[in-house]
Amino acid sequence: MTDVGSDSSDVTEVSLVMSPAEAKAVDRWSAEHHVEDRSEAVHRLIQHGLDAETAADDAHLR
């Protein structure tokens, strides 16, 4: 997994509103992956999505 913006001195705060079902899904994923903090779970899920998109783009260019 790449560390986009991993330098803690270079951060942007983002507020997020989600439905109860989305919050429950994030919490379920978090528990399954032993991530205790919802914010960290959201960070990891975003990074997984970005990594998957990059991999798909790379595969498409081959």
Q: What angle do CA 43, 27, 31 make, to 5 degrees?
A: 95
Q: Given the structure tokens 């595969």, which residue do they identify?
A: 59
Q: SS3 sequence, 29-41?
A: HHHHCCCCCHHHH
Q: Which two tokens stand for residue 53?
A: 């998109």
Provide the pLDDT for residue 10. 86
Give yes or no for a contact between 14 and 8, defined as CB atoms under 8 angstroms apart. no
| pLDDT tens digits, 1-11 | 445 555 667 88
Across 1-5, 12-16, 22-26, least confident range: 1-5
pTM of the model: 0.71
